[in-house]
Amino acid sequence: MTSPKTTSTTSTTSTTTTLTVDAQPGPFTYEPARTALVVIDMQRDFIEPGGFGESLGNDVSLLAEIVPTVAALLAFAREQGWLVVHTRESHAADLSDCPPAKRLRGAPNARIGEPGPMGRILVRGEPGNEIIEPLLPLAGEIVIDKPGKGAFYATRLGEELAMRGITRLVFAGVTTEVCVQTSMREANDRGYDSLLIEDATASYFPAFKQATLEMVRSQGGIVGWTAPLAALTAALTATQTD
């Protein structure tokens, strides 16, 4: 295991702070000014009873467990001045952006677009489609409505990151093996180095979460890196005391 360490270089025109996180399969290095936190789909439809997640037959309480850790990660990113991005899996009211391959999943009376206890399931603007109250976006943060599993597919995310010079992405959210992993794979194909915060992501299937963590960091980090939140904040502590 490597220890968190910090390297700072200063020129006449700018200061660059580089932090190193004790991650797997090895150190994950990032510059705060070029890093974005991407919180995937922490929505009522997935986390609260009566939403899309439960309609698919899942135990949604497994997802609620990570909310305090995601809140702590958000607070850390905001304190450090990272770009903060929130995504919502959502569809247009006429479902024109929801192909049958997606719409026909789950019980017939609880599919995307059908009325549920929190409004139409996974439809933009409905109460169930909102991000849960403890993790609400702040003014100035980016909110991406995505019709697919990946955060880049059919969204403006790539442009938003490019215009800000972002090179590193830190991921959290749900579910680990579906929308989080898909987004990380999309990010890797687009040239981003990504770190998944292990205790800030969850699955309805704990074994799938574990398998995803392992496959992301396998083969030398074929998709990206993983680390617990404590490793990220330890890297910060090293910066402050140097």
Say whether residue 118 binds ligand TIU (CB under 6 A).
no
Which structure tokens are listed for 66?
């990570």
* Amino acid letter for position 89: E
The one-character DSSP state at 109 is G
Q: Between 19 and 121, whose beta carbon lies closer to ligand TIU?
A: 121
Q: Which of 22, 89, 126, 186 binds ligand TIU (CB under 6 A)?
A: 89
Shortest Cβ distance from residue 133 to ligand TIU (Å)?
Answer: 18
* Footprint on residues 189-208 left by ligand TIU (CB under 6 A): 204
Report the catalytic residues: 41, 146, 179
Dmax (CA) of the chain: 63
Say whether residue 179 binds ligand TIU (CB under 6 A).
yes
Say whether residue 170 binds ligand TIU (CB under 6 A).
no
Q: Which of 56, 64, 72, 230 binds ligand TIU (CB under 6 A)?
A: 56
What are phi and psi for residue 16, nearest 5 degrees? -115, 125
Alpha helix segments (H runs only) across the chain? 44-47, 52-55, 61-64, 67-79, 100-103, 157-163, 181-189, 206-221, 229-241
From 30-38, 74-82, 125-133, 172-180, give the range in contact with ligand TIU by CB under 6 A.
172-180
